[in-house]
Copies of this chain bind each other. A is one copy, B any other.
Amino acid sequence: MGSLSELFAPESVAVVGATDREGSVGRAIVTNLRDEFDGSVVPVNPNRESVLGLDCYPDVGSVPDAPDLAVVVVPPQIAVDAVEEAAEAGVENVVVITAGFSETGSDGAARERELVAVAEEHDLNLVGPNSLGVMSTPVDMNATFGPEKALPGSLSFMSQSGAFITAVLDWANDQGLGFKDVVSLGNEAVLDETDFVREWGDDPDTDVILGYLEGIDNGQEFIRTARDVTDDTPIVLVKSGRTDAGAQAASSHTGSIAGSDEAYEAGLEQAGVQRVETVQELFDYARALSGQPLPDSDGVAVVTNAGGPGVMATDAIGDSRLSLASFSDETISALQDALPDEANVYNPVDTIGDADIERFRSAIDVALSDDGVGAAVVVSAPTAVLSFETLAEEILALQEKHGKPVVTCLMGGESTEAAADVLREGGIPNYFDPARGIRSLEALSEYRDIRDHTVEPPAEFDVDRERARDVLRGAKRRGDNRLGVEAMDLLDAYGIPTPEGDITDAPEDAVSVAQDIDGPVVMKIVSPDILHKSDIGGVKVGVENEDVYDAYEDLITRARNYQPDATVIGVQVQEMVDLDTGTETIVGMNRDPQFGPLVLFGLGGIFVEILEDTTVRVAPVGRDEATEMIDEIKAAPLLRGARGRTSADEGAIVETIQRLSQLVTDFPAILELDINPLVAGPDGVQAVDIRLTVDTDKL
């Protein structure tokens, strides 16, 4: 059991601010608790003798045994004191319903800081403030002021919107969808989404963790926790504020600083979270994951009595990560035996409109027996020869017999209701629309891969951290926060290959560096103030040794003429990189407010600038993840020998991504970094140019 088990299963609950005034929150909570709760309910209010027939205490300290949980509904001005008093009386779990904290401006924010200080001092498990409350069905506890109570079930649900909980419960009760715990997270002053993910991951009675979130406070901790939890328990989230308009609305709603949705997308995927976009998907996923086993394989059998709807189901499979199963010869011959001549014995199996229950049953049975079938969808139009209810019972029995996931599309209205009840009881998702049924199977397949996926620990390369720190401090020494090619040594310190060469600050040095390099060289002006070097003629390509001296002087002159007050560090003299056999790629990084360092990979030029063909991961990035990043790029075939090119050394790219990941994880001072281009050739990679921004205070 998790550390919050007492919060959800207290033996006694104090309601601080209990009252019987009609329409008040205090009354609503006492009523909700008194009516059903297995434990004892203790109203606390210095102005009352009793509330709704229960003995009332003036303060929590006066209650004979310290309650396990205090629900605080007093006005904001006295809420912090009330929490402190409860803590001093020995209460360890507190739900602050009271609003008027950080969501209301600076006074409220100050009040919230006081609340956090009290919670930390007493090591409180504190939900809220500004929360609708919490529920837990095993002990029949409804410690919310909402009008609805959850049905018992195995879903645990958290929400940053209290109203959304009210709406969902109203609807779910109608749908027969049950919950284990429900939490309205409120302002998350103390306990946040990560705490509840951890708690429910440890809870044997929670089969699926659901959430509506507008922001995640600490992305890195969330990823670590969720990765661990999703080995046993699926997590399905709506993270809203996906779009620019939505993010702005979310930010004005909860006051959260909007991180980029790209970071959430990457972070949630790395966390093993199944992110969905709509309310409908959230609960469709919940139903499937809580009701059905996971498929061993992705081959789906479609069994129907109606050709057209069978085609629709097949289309939906074609749109999904699943595939239409190919039947074995035995299956086909068994179907031929079981079905009339006009039937289609190939997948999708069409048992024909006059199929009775026995024919339909046999076809499903045979299809589920095929080893190539991981799951089945049964699609039925209403016909005179078929009772949906009997069909539902047969399907339940077959699902149990074969232990493979099954979803149904009993297509109709009222005529399906009794059957739908049977299927719901048995945990089989049933929708009119075949596309929703297939999506449910997809949810199972996704989670199977998440459960089976092992995240390898990121490699720890042997690097020269001190040398890297020294390079980064170069910016600080110059009173700047930007670094350019003068930071190539940073890459060298972290084992990322760079072309031969050096920064020189005298023409003689340039000549001497050039002489050590085979063949002609590239020379570039080095100045943090000159961003577009090529535009001012600050780059010379293919310079022969005998021209290096003059080229040096010319570059310096051009820089001075262009911008007399520019800081000029010198001239970089660099080996020519073979761009004929190599492909220009980009490896970069920026820092997200919630998730920290985001590592980016893409092909250079038009692929980044016009086609936006890039992919990101939250660092640290392991080898498998770095490899996936290359796979995700649409233009990846260009690295793999498409159109007569020589294949690039992918291993070297993967290693560069990992080394960069280690660098930006080691140095929180690096705010942004781009290696552009990283030229990937058949014999390895070379980082030709670099640009970065640092937070000098962190060095």
B-contacting residues of A (Cβ < 8 Å)?
Answer: 23, 104, 147-148, 159-164, 166-168, 170-175, 212, 214, 238, 240-246, 248-250, 252-254, 277-280, 305-312, 314-319, 323-324, 342, 344, 346, 348, 350, 353, 381-384, 411-416, 432-436, 605-606, 609-611, 634-635, 637-638, 642-643
Distance (Å) between the CB of A193 and the closest chain B CB? 14
Whether B306 contacts A167 by the Cβ 8 Å rule is: yes
Distance (Å) between the CB of A632 and the closest chain B CB? 14
- Bound-complex Cα distance A607 to B279 (A): 37
Whether B634 contacts A309 by the Cβ 8 Å rule is: no
Interface centre among A252, A307, A319 (most CB of B within 10 A): A307
Whether B249 contacts A348 by the Cβ 8 Å rule is: yes
Distance (Å) between the CB of A136 and the closest chain B CB? 21
**A434 surroundings in chain B (CB, below 8 A):** 278-279
Known contacts: A163-B306, A171-B432. The answer to whether A314 contacts B243 by CB under 8 A is yes
**A314 surroundings in chain B (CB, below 8 A):** 243, 245-246, 248-249
Pick from B248, B253, B308, B344: contact of A240, CB below 8 A.
B308
**A436 surroundings in chain B (CB, below 8 A):** 278, 280
Interface centre among A163, A170, A637 (most CB of B within 10 A): A163
20 A–B pairs (Cβ distance < 8 Å), ordered by A: A159-B308, A163-B308, A164-B306, A164-B308, A172-B413, A174-B412, A174-B413, A175-B413, A242-B315, A243-B317, A245-B314, A246-B312, A249-B314, A252-B344, A278-B316, A280-B436, A606-B635, A606-B643, A610-B637, A610-B638
Whether A381 contacts B166 by the Cβ 8 Å rule is: yes
Pick from B243, B280, B308, B319: contact of A433, CB below 8 A.
B280
| Closest B residue, CB atoms, query A613 | B611
Whether B413 contacts A318 by the Cβ 8 Å rule is: no
Known contacts: A324-B245, A346-B252. The answer to whether A240 contacts B280 by CB under 8 A is no
Whether B312 contacts A240 by the Cβ 8 Å rule is: yes
Whether B161 contacts A309 by the Cβ 8 Å rule is: yes
Whether B412 contacts A170 by the Cβ 8 Å rule is: yes
- Bound-complex Cα distance A168 to B643 (A): 50
| Closest B residue, CB atoms, query A306 | B163
- Bound-complex Cα distance A147 to B387 (A): 13
Distance (Å) between the CB of A504 and the closest chain B CB? 30
**A238 surroundings in chain B (CB, below 8 A):** 312
Whether B642 contacts A606 by the Cβ 8 Å rule is: yes
**A278 surroundings in chain B (CB, below 8 A):** 312, 316, 433-436
- Bound-complex Cα distance A110 to B38 (A): 76
| Closest B residue, CB atoms, query A280 | B433
| Closest B residue, CB atoms, query A350 | B253
Distance (Å) between the CB of A164 and the closest chain B CB? 4
- Bound-complex Cα distance A115 to B162 (A): 65
